Amino acid sequence: FYTADICAELEALPRPRVLVTTPYHLRTLLAEQPALPTIDLLLSATAPLSQNLAIEAETRFAAPLFEIYGCTETGQIASRRTTSGPIWQTFSGVRLRSEGEAVWAEGDHIEVPTPLSDVIELVKADPTRFLLHGRHADLVNIAGKRASLGYLNYKLTACLLYTSPSPPDRTRSRTPSSA
């Protein structure tokens, strides 16, 4: 993955141009490339984007950014414009329903109701709008509060500045001093 190659390929394409990416690749592209090509749409999938990263991407590319949500079992089922807020909207015909701690997707292209592996909160019991809080498989309990490692990672990543990291200071010791 070479960010200069991505920019060169985008520049060579006729408009409209669409960049389909992941949060990791988008973060790297923004950190390494001071000048970005003109594009018309950004799509991101595989993991939730922080709102800060989405704002920076939309500003620097001067294009709207949309995230796609889905899984292997259902395919893509929802999207959101991250700069507008954290709420996901299911695609037309797709509905979510809550049963205990499980959330199921059904309708449209989903042939049979399918449980989702993510921690999802329906917004005002609306079967088409939801908040994504991480994965059931990585839940941790901290002082009686449950959160997923993915959600904690998302929140921590949202706090970072998206600039190129400074080179490590190799003059400092890696072990604590005994002063």
What does the pLDDT look like over 90-120, one tens digit per residue?
999 999 999 988 899 999 999 999 999 888 9
pLDDT of residue 101: 82
Question: Comparing 61 with 165, which gets the higher pLDDT?
Answer: 61
pLDDT of residue 145: 65
pLDDT of residue 51: 92
Rounded to 10 deg, the angle between the 51-61 and 149-159 helix axes is: 50
Cα→Cα distances 93→63, 119, 122, 159, Å: 28, 21, 16, 35
pLDDT of residue 156: 74
Alpha-carbon gap, residue 15 to 9, rounded angstroms: 12
Query: pLDDT band at residue 150, thresholds of 50, 70 and 90?
Result: low
Residue range 12-34: average pLDDT? 95
For the chain, counts of helices (H) and of strands (E): 4, 12
Question: Comparing 58 with 159, which gets the higher pLDDT?
Answer: 58
pLDDT at 13 over 50: yes
Residue with tokens 């669409």: 18
Residue range 135-160: average pLDDT? 67
pLDDT at 171 over 50: no
Alpha-carbon gap, residue 53 to 26, rounded angstroms: 8
Alpha-carbon gap, residue 146 to 131, rounded angstroms: 15
Mean pLDDT, the chain, whole residue set: 85
Query: pLDDT band at residue 169, thresholds of 50, 70 and 90?
Result: very low
Residue 40, helix vs strand vs coil: coil
pLDDT of residue 162: 46
**% the chain with pLDDT above 90:** 64
